Structure 1
Amino acid sequence: MNPAHPDSPVQPTLADQLPDLAEVPEFLLDDAVLESFLAWARGRGITPYPAQEEAATALAAGDNVILATPTGSGKSLVATAAHFIALAHGQRTFYTAPIKALVSEKFFALCEIFGPEKVGMMTGDATVNGRAPIICATAEIVANIALRDGAAADIDQVVMDEFHYYSEPDRGWAWQVPLLELHQAQFLLMSATLGDTTWLEKDLEQRTGRTSTTVSGTTRPVPLDFHYVYTPVHETVEELLDTGRAPIYLVHFSQREAAERAQALTSVHLLGDKAQTAERKAAIAEAISSFRFSSAFGRTLSGLLRKGIGVHHAGMLPKYRRLVEKLAQQGLLTVICGTDTLGVGINVPIRTVVLTGLAKYDGIRHRVLKSREFHQIAGRAGRAGYDTEGTVIVEAPDHEIENYRLRQKAGSDPKKLKKMRKKHAPEGRATWSESTFERLTTAEPEELVSQFRMSNAMLINVVARDQWTYAALKGLLRGNHDTRAKQNQEILTTLDLYRGLLRAGIVEEVAADTPSGKDARLTRELQRDFALNQPLSPFALAALDLLDPESPTYTLDVISTFEAILDEPGQILTAQQRARRGEEIAALKAEGVEYTERMALVEEITWDMPLHDELEQAYGIFCETNPWAKDFRLSPKSVVREMIEKAMTFSDLVSTYSLARAEGVVLRYLTDAWRTLSHSVPPEHRTEELEDILVWLGELIRQVDSSLVDEWAAMSDPDVPVTAEQVAEHAFGVGDASLLSSNPRALRRMVRNHLFRHVELFAFERENQLAELDSSLDTPPDWPAEMDAYFDEYDDVGTDTAARSGDLVLITEDAGTWTVRQIIDDPEGDHGWAFEGVVDLAATDDAGDVRLRSLQVIRG
C-alpha cells in the first residue's frame, strides 16, 4: 500500500468501509462484511486470487484458517481481511510476527490502511495505543497474555504470520501457547512452508469449536525458474543483467560477506546504457538527497546506492535498512546484497534471488539449509504484477566452480582429465552439490515440531490467574502438542519449578473450593510483562542498595548494575575482548614473553566486567528467594560506561572496535540501556550526573537514527495512537532528527565529551587519532609538538572521574557559536594547560554531532 504524502488530502481508510451491521439481517452478516472488504480491494485496483477469496470467505464465516500458500500469493491481503472482519464485529484482533522489525513494518502499514486510532503495537519494550482494536505484537507478547489470562484474555482473533516459527527450538513455545489457551479466539495461521497440517486443523477445531479450513496450493501467481550455476557471483550477476532479470537479491549467510560482496560489485556496470545510467543516477540522487548518512557505514552505503547497489542485514541501522527497502520498492536498485533475513517477510520486491550458498552457521554448527529455509528465501523471487516468472539461482561452492572450469579446459582429453588436480571442499564446513540443490527444490517443507517447554516465568503467569492453578497447568502440560513421554518430563520439570517458588515465598498455597481443597497464588504482584522487558530489573533495583553513594564512581556503578541485566550485544563484546587481548599480547611481547606463554596468559582475558564479583554474589543471594530469576542470565559488561569514561561518541565506539557492519547492534544496545535506565532507576538513586547522561544518551540515539519505532516508547501515555503525520514520516523517511542545538543540555554534555576525548587521546599520545578527530579543522593543533612540550613539564595526564569533572570545563554560549575550555588535570594540580575550542552550531546541527570551528592548546 502506498502511503499518502504528508501534504496530500486525508484519504479514507478501510475502517471507513465498515458496514452498519445493525441494519443487516443476521443471515446476511457474513456476506455484508466480506462484500465491504472486497469493494475496498476493488477500489484500490486489487483483484483477489481465488485462494485469497476462499480464505477471506472462511474467515467471514467465523472459521479458523490455515493459509499455506506460496510466497507472493498475497497472504497480507488475507490478514487485512481478517482484521477488517474482526473490526466489523466489534472484536479485538492481534497480528503477531517473529521479529520486531516485521511487527513495526506491519504496524505502520495497518495505520495507513485502517487509520492510526484503530491500530496499536506491543513489543515488550514499546507500547503504542495499547487499547486499540487492532494490535501488532511479537509472538511472545500474545503468549504471555494467553498464559496470564487464558480464555478470559481480551483477544478475539489472532493472526500469526510466519507460523513456521512454531518449530524454532528457542521460541516455538510462544507460537504454541496461544493455540493451547485462547479457546475463544479465531486463528489465521500463515506461512508458505508448513508441511502437512491435517493434525493442526483437527486440533484447532477441537479446542476452539470452530470449523478449521486449510487453504493451500502449490501454484504461485508468479512461477519460479530454478538454476544451479558454476559461474562466480560477479559473472552470474552480469549474465542476469544481460538477460533482463534484475533487480537481484544476493543472499549471504553472514553480514560480513554481504557487505564485502557489495563492495566487490562496484566494478560491475549495473545501471544500463549511458542514457539509462544518467537517468537512474539522477533518480537515486534525488531519492537520497535529504537523507543523512551520519555514520561510518552510512557513508559507504551512500556510495553503493548511487551505483544501484543496496545492502540489507540486521546489523545495519534501522534507517539504512528502511531506506534500502524504500529504494527497492521504487525500483531504483539493481542489486541488493543481503542476508537470509529476506526469508522473514521483509518487504524487498525483487525479480531474481541468487543464493551464494546452501549452507549456514546456525549458532551451533555449520549445516546445509533445511527445505523450509530454502523455500522461504527462494519464494521471495518474482514480483506480482511486474514479472511473468521469478528466477532462483544457487551458486556452486568455490571448489566445485574451480573443478568445473578445469573439466571445461580439459575437454574430452582423457589424459588431461586424468592429470586434473581437483580442489576439495574446506574441512570442517558443510558443503553442497547440485544433488543437494535438486533435493531442496522438490522437497516438501519439514513437518512442524512442537517446542513446548515450561519455565519459571510461564509458571508464574499461570499462577497469577484467577482460575484454579492446577486445572490450568493440567491443560497446558497434558494438552500441549508434545509426545506423552516429553509431557511426562515437562511435568517433572514443572513440579521442581513449583517447589522452588514455594520455598522462595513467591507462591503460597491457600485453602480453596477445589478437588484438592487448596490452590496456589502469588505472594507479591509482578508486572504483567516482567518476563519480557528486562526481567532482571528487580535484581538490579535490589543491588543498587549495595552501592556507596559517596563513591566518586557511584553514577557509573549504577549504570554498570543495569548494564549487567541487558542482553549481550555479542559483536560488541567480542570486539572488546579482541582489543583487550591484543593490547595484552603487545605488552607481553614487548616484555619478551614467549609466544606459547603469551597465548596462554591472554586466554582468560574477556571484555571489561565492572562489579562482576559483587553482582554475581548478590545475584546468587537474590535467586534463593526469587528462583524465577534463574531463567535469565546476569551479564556484567561495560559499553555505556566505557563511552562515558573515554568520552566516546557513537562513531568513536564504532571506529574503535571496527563495528561499522554492526551499527544496528550498537544502536539497539544503547537504546535498550537508555530505556532501561530511564524507566527503572528510582529517584533516590538518580544523581544530577545520571540525569545529564540520560539526556545525552537519548539525544545521541536520536541523532544517529531517529526512525526507531522505540521512540514511541518515550510517549507519556502508551494508550495514545500515533498521528497521521507520524505514519507518513515513517513511510517516507522524511523528518530527520531534530536539531541538536534545540537540546542544549544534551549538547553541553556532547561538547564536554568532545573536548575530553581530546584529553583522553592526548594522555595516551595517540596523535593519529587526534588528527582524525580534528580532520575538519583548517588549522588543527600540532599534536606531536604539544605532547612533547607537555610531557617535558609533567609525567601524566589525569583521565579519571576527577579529570572529567564539570569544574574543569568552561562553556560560554553565544548565538551561533559556543566557546569551550577544557582544563587538563595535571599531576601537580597547576591546571595551567587547557584545550580551547569554538563550537560551530550550524555545522553541529547539520552533522548531528559536535563540530568545532577552531581548536588551540593553551600552555601553562
Structure 2
Amino acid sequence: MVAPADPADGPSTGLADRLPPAGDTLTPMATLDRFLDWVADSGLTPYAHQEAALLELYSGQHVVLATPTGSGKSLVATGLEWKALCEDTWCVYTSPIKALASEKFFQLCEVFGPEQVGMLTGDASINRDAPIICCTAEILSNMALRDDQAFSPPYVIMDEFHYYSDAERGVAWQVPLITMPRTQFLLMSATLGDTSEIQRLLAAQSGRDVVEIASAERPVPLDFSYRDSPLQTTVQVLLAEQRAPIYIVSFTQRECAELAQALLSIDVCSPTERKAIGRAIAGARFDSPYGREIRRFLAAGIAVHHAGLLPRYRLLVEQLAQQGLLKVICGTDTLGVGVNIPIRTVLFNKLVKYDGKRLGILSARDFHQIAGRAGRKGFDDRGSVVCQAPEHVIENKKASDKAAATGRKARSKKPPPGTVVWSQQTFDQLVSRQPETLISRFRVSHGMMINVLQREVEPAGYRFLVELIARCHESEPRKAELRREAAELFRALRRAGIVEPSRDPVTGRPRVLVSEALQDEFALHDALSLFAVDAVLSLDPTAPSFALDVLSVVEAIQQDPRAILIAQERKVKGDLIGRLKAEGVPYEERMAQLDQVTHPKPPKPLTDFLLASFQVFAQRHPWVRAGDLAPKAIAREMAEGYWSFEDMVRRYGFQRFEGLLLRYLSQVYKAMVQTVPEQARDEAVLDLIAYLRTTLERVDSSLLDEWERMMGLAGPDEVERAGETYDLARDPAALEARIRAELLALVRALAAADYEEAARAVHAEDPEAWDAERFEAALAPFLAEHGRIVFEPRTRKRAHCIIRPSGHRQWSADQILVDPDGDNLWHVAARVDLNGVHNPAGPIIRVWNLGT
C-alpha cells in the first residue's frame, strides 16, 4: 500500500537541487518560499502550525514546537536546515539517543545529499565538516563548553527536548541554551508541558524572542481502551480487527522475550506473509548466540526490540517494520523515543515502571510519549492505545466467568505483596493528564570542568565555569551549592596533577590549563575517573598482572550492568552447588557457602586495595558516594581466557542481553583509551586495549556498513571514525598490539575449529582472502599430526608473534601455532598494508600462508 502525501512525513528527496548557485544570496522570505515550493511540488500542504513555526524561524525567533507525535515537526526542522544551507552556514540537529541521530542522518542524506550531512555520536564520526550535523545532545554540549562562541552553530534543532528534565542527562540539553547566545534554537517535543520559565530565561540571555507553537490536535486521532482478557486473546482480537502493527510495551527486556515466546502459540502471519519475511531476512547475519531465537521470532512476524539486542538486530527489526512485514513488536519504552517505526496500535502490558529507585506508575510524560506512537497518517484513520489489566485481575475475571458457567463461587486472587497495582481509573487519568513541568537538572562534573579548562579563548577556565553556573536555570540556593561543588572538583583535579597553573601568554593573567603530559584522548567524563587515575598510578607496573589490574580499575568505575552480574553470580553458584553436592557437603553448609558467593571480582588483594583506596578518596571528595565503586571482572575474565564475545555469552547465558554486554565492553574500551595515563600504557596494556577493540569490531558494525552502502565507498577509510585524524601507522606500539590481537583472534577461531569465524577474522576485501573451506583444508595436515592447536595463556606470549616492516606503510607478521608436542613448526603468515588508509575499520591482517 502506498500512503498519500502527508505534511507530517515531509518530502524525501530533491531539495538539494534547489540550492542557489554559489555566491548568490536569497532573502529569508525568498528562501522560505523556495522551501514551500518544494513542499507543494511534492503534493503536500503544510499544517497551520508548521507554517507558523517556519515563519517565526525565518523571522529570527527561537521556536518551541509542542505538537503531537506525527504532526510534522521534522518538516519544520528540515526547513531550518534548508535555511542554513541557503545562507552557506551550518546547522546542528541533536537527539537523545544514537539510534535517532543515525536515523535522522540517513533521512537527511536522502533529502540533501550525503555530501551535505555529517554525524557525530561518540562511536562514529562521518563527514564531520558537513553543513548539517546530526549528533547526540552530549556531543553538542561538549562542543559548546570547549569551543569559542564565534564558532557556535547559527542554528540548533533539539529534538525530544523533554529530556531537559532527565535527572542524569538533562544538563546536556541546558548547556547549549546558556553557552550559545548567538544561536537560534528550535526546541521540539510532543510532551513538553509548561516551558514558560525556560522560554523566559532563553529570551533574557539571548536577546531574541521565544515563540511557542503548540497544538493538541493529532493528524491521526487515537482511541483508548482497557482490556481484562489474556494477552494472547487481546492480540488475536486486535489482529482480527486489522489493528496491526501492534507494539506491546514492556519495561524489562526479559519480559519482551517472554511475551514474544508466548505469542508464538498463535498465528500472527499468513503463509504468504511468512514467505515475504523469509525473503527479507535471507541475507541477514544471525551468527550471535541469540541470533537463532531472533530469527525464529521474525519468521513468525514477531519481533523484540530493546537496548539488550545487538545494534544490527535492532536495525533489522526497524527495517522490517518499515516494510510492513512485522505484525507484533514486543519492545521496551526505548521504541517510544523518536525511532521511526510505523505502529497502528500501542498495547501497554502494564502501567508500572522501575525508575532506578522504585516501582511506580508511569508519569504522564512517559505515557503520552509512548502512546503517541500509535497511528500512521496516510495509512490509518485512527490509532489505538490499549492497556491490559493487571494479571491477577485477568485471572479473577477468568475464574469469575468459569464460576458463573458452573454455578460455583469463584475465589479471588490478590496481587503479590509489594506489587504496584493499576486500574482503568489509573489509565483514564494518564490519558487526560498533561505532561509534567520540565525541571532544570544542571550539575557540574569532572568532564565539564576539563572541557571549560581546555577552552582556548576568553571567557575560559574556571572563571567561565563560574559564569556558567550563574547563567544556569537553577535557583539561587542551588547555584551556591554548585559553586561549592565546582571548587571541590577543581581542587581535586589540581591535587591529581590533571590541571596545572599557568599564565595567559598575551595578557599575563593567571589561568589554569589541562596538563600537557596527558594523552590527546584523555577525558574525565565519569565522576570516578579521577580515582581511576590515582589507582592506576598506585599499582606496581612490574607485577605480572599489571595490565589486568589496570583493566580491573577501569571496570570498577563503570556502572554495574546488573543483568550481566546476576547471570554471572547464578552461574558461579550453580557450579559451586554442583561441586558441593558431589563432595557430599551437608545442605546447611552448602547454603552457608552459597551466601558468601557473589559475581566474579578481581583477586582479593586488588579488590581490598581498591575498596580501601576509595574510602580515602571519598573522604577527600565528598560528592562521591561510598557505593559508587563496584569491583567486577567481566572484561578481565574475558581477557584472562582470551575469550571471544560468543564464548562469554554462551558461558553465562547472556543471549537475551548481548547488546548490554557489547555496550559494557565498549564503555570499558573507551575508558581504557581515555582514562589510563600515558605512563601506565606498557605493551601488555596496549595488548589489552587492542584485544577489546578487536572483540568489539568483530561483533557489530551495522552503522558503518549502512553508511558504506549508501555512499558506495571503495574502502572503510573513507568512513571516518571518532578521532579521524589518528594515523595507526604513526603509532607503532598500538599498530603491533592490533596486529597481535587480530592474529590471536584468528588462532582462537582455528583452535575452536570455527572456520567461518576464522574467515571473518581476516581482511574482508583481500583478493587472496581465505574462506572457511580454505582454512579447514590448510589446517587438516596440522590436526592430523598434532590433534589440536594449543591456545592457552603461555601460547599467547609476544615471543610467538613476530612483526617486521616490509615496505612503505607495510608490515609482515608471523604467528606461531603451538602444538602439544612442542614442535611449533607451523605458523600463520600475514601482511598488513596501510597505504591509502589511516585507521581502517575491520580486520587489517591479510593471510598469505598457513603452514610450515
Q: TM-score, normalised by structure 2?
A: 0.77
Question: Does residue 299 of structure 2 align to residue 299 of structure 1?
Answer: no
Deviations 1:721-764 (A, max 9, x none): 997226999xxxxxxxxxxxxx99767523532466699xxxxx
Which of 251, 266, 269 aligns to 2:249? It is 251
Contact residue 577 and residue 590 of structure 2 kept, 8 A: no
- Counterpart in 2 of 1:650? 645
In 2, the alpha carbon distance for the partners of 1:291 and 1:510 equals 56
- The equivalences for 1:92-111 within 5 A come to 92-111=90-109
- Counterpart in 2 of 1:423? 413
Distance 1:235 1:499, change over 3 A: same
In 1, the alpha carbon distance for the partners of 2:447 and 2:677 equals 23
Deviations 1:440-472 (A, max 9, x none): 000011111111222343244344444356764
- Counterpart in 1 of 2:662? 667
Question: Does residue 423 of structure 2 align to residue 437 of structure 1?
Answer: no
- Counterpart in 1 of 2:515? 524
Aligned residues: 749
Distance 1:443 1:579, change over 3 A: same
User: Helix, strand or coil: the match of 1:296?
Assistant: coil
- Counterpart in 1 of 2:712? 725
Give the Å deviation of 1:250. Answer: 0.8
Give the Å deviation of 1:630. Answer: 9.3
Contact residue 63 and residue 211 of structure 1 kept, 8 A: yes
Question: Does residue 271 of structure 2 align to residue 278 of structure 1?
Answer: yes
Contact residue 201 and residue 473 of structure 2 kept, 8 A: no
Give the Å deviation of 1:508. Answer: 6.5
Question: Does residue 601 of structure 2 align to residue 612 of structure 1?
Answer: no
In 2, the alpha carbon distance for the partners of 1:195 and 1:567 equals 31
Question: Does residue 150 of structure 2 align to residue 146 of structure 1?
Answer: no
Give the Å deviation of 1:343. Answer: 1.6
In 1, the alpha carbon distance for the partners of 2:795 and 2:497 equals 47
Deviations 1:298-335 (A, max 9, x none): 11111221111111111001111111110100001111
Distance 1:522 1:181, change over 3 A: same
Give the Å deviation of 1:108. Answer: 2.5
- Counterpart in 2 of 1:181? 179
Contact residue 150 and residue 181 of structure 1 kept, 8 A: no
Larger mean Cα displacement after TM superposition, 60-69 or 98-107: 98-107
- Counterpart in 2 of 1:774? none
Which of 339, 346, 355 aligns to 2:332? It is 339
- Counterpart in 2 of 1:15? 16
Q: Partner letter of residue 369 of structure 2?
A: Q
Q: Partner letter of residue 570 of structure 1?
A: R
Distance 1:207 1:534, change over 3 A: closer
Distance 1:42 1:567, change over 3 A: farther
Q: Partner letter of residue 241 of structure 1?
A: L
Which of 457, 472, 476 aligns to 2:468? It is 476
Contact residue 280 and residue 332 of structure 1 kept, 8 A: yes
Larger mean Cα displacement after TM superposition, 329-338 or 587-596: 587-596
- Counterpart in 1 of 2:347? 354
Question: Does residue 372 of structure 2 align to residue 372 of structure 1?
Answer: no
Q: Percent identity?
A: 43
Question: Does residue 793 of structure 2 align to residue 801 of structure 1?
Answer: yes
Q: Partner letter of residue 299 of structure 1?
A: R
In 2, the alpha carbon distance for the partners of 1:471 and 1:450 equals 22
Give the Å deviation of 1:625. Answer: 10
Give the Å deviation of 1:541. Answer: 9.9
Q: Partner letter of residue 421 of structure 1?
A: R
Question: Does residue 471 of structure 2 align to residue 467 of structure 1?
Answer: no
Contact residue 194 and residue 447 of structure 1 kept, 8 A: yes
Structure 1 unmatched runs, 5+: 3-10, 272-276, 713-720, 730-742, 760-776, 778-789, 791-796, 811-817, 825-829, 839-847, 849-860
Distance 1:686 1:116, change over 3 A: farther
- Counterpart in 2 of 1:448? 438
Give the Å deviation of 1:38. Answer: 2.2
Contact residue 346 and residue 386 of structure 2 kept, 8 A: yes
Distance 1:46 1:603, change over 3 A: farther
Q: Partner letter of residue 524 of structure 1?
A: S
Deviations 1:623-651 (A, max 9, x none): 99999999996554433442343353322
User: What's the C-alpha RMSD, in Å, of the aligned pairs?
Assistant: 4.5
Deviations 1:191-213 (A, max 9, x none): 11111222322222222122211
Question: Does residue 66 of structure 2 align to residue 76 of structure 1?
Answer: no
Contact residue 128 and residue 722 of structure 1 kept, 8 A: no
Q: TM-score, normalised by structure 1?
A: 0.76
Question: Does residue 575 of structure 2 align to residue 583 of structure 1?
Answer: yes
Give the Å deviation of 1:670. Answer: 3.4
Give the Å deviation of 1:40. Answer: 2.9
Contact residue 470 and residue 519 of structure 1 kept, 8 A: no
Q: Partner letter of residue 478 of structure 1?
A: A
Which of 309, 319, 343 aligns to 1:326? It is 319
Give the Å deviation of 1:336. Answer: 0.9
Contact residue 117 and residue 127 of structure 2 kept, 8 A: yes
Q: Partner letter of residue 700 of structure 2?
A: D
Contact residue 522 and residue 673 of structure 2 kept, 8 A: no
Q: Partner letter of residue 19 of structure 2?
A: L
In 2, the alpha carbon distance for the partners of 1:115 and 1:21 equals 16
- Counterpart in 1 of 2:807? none
- The equivalences for 1:172-321 within 5 A come to 172-271=170-269, 277-321=270-314
Deviations 1:574-613 (A, max 9, x none): 3223322333344455452543773466336332225434
Distance 1:619 1:489, change over 3 A: closer
In 1, the alpha carbon distance for the partners of 2:526 and 2:17 equals 36
Give the Å deviation of 1:121. Answer: 2.2
Give the Å deviation of 1:367. Answer: 0.7
Structure 2 unmatched runs, 5+: 4-11, 717-737, 755-775, 777-786, 803-813, 829-842, 844-852
User: Helix, strand or coil: the match of 2:225?
Assistant: strand
Question: Does residue 145 of structure 2 align to residue 158 of structure 1?
Answer: no
User: Helix, strand or coil: the match of 1:155?
Assistant: coil
- Counterpart in 2 of 1:856? none
Q: Partner letter of residue 131 of structure 2?
A: P
Larger mean Cα displacement after TM superposition, 586-595 or 218-227: 586-595
In 1, the alpha carbon distance for the partners of 2:190 and 2:680 equals 53
Question: Does residue 57 of structure 2 align to residue 59 of structure 1?
Answer: yes
Q: Partner letter of residue 155 of structure 1?
A: P
Q: Partner letter of residue 411 of structure 2?
A: R
Give the Å deviation of 1:706. Answer: 2.5
Distance 1:366 1:136, change over 3 A: same
- The equivalences for 1:670-819 within 5 A come to 670-674=665-669, 685=681, 687=683, 691=687, 698-709=693-704, 724-725=711-712, 748-754=743-749, 801-802=793-794
Q: Which has the higher contact order (CA 8 A, sep 6+)?
A: 1
- The equivalences for 1:508-587 within 5 A come to 520-522=511-513, 524=515, 530-532=523-525, 536=529, 539=532, 543=536, 546-548=539-541, 551=544, 553=545, 556-557=548-549, 559-560=551-552, 562-564=554-556, 566-587=558-579
Deviations 1:4-35 (A, max 9, x none): xxxxxxx975334223596557xxx1211112
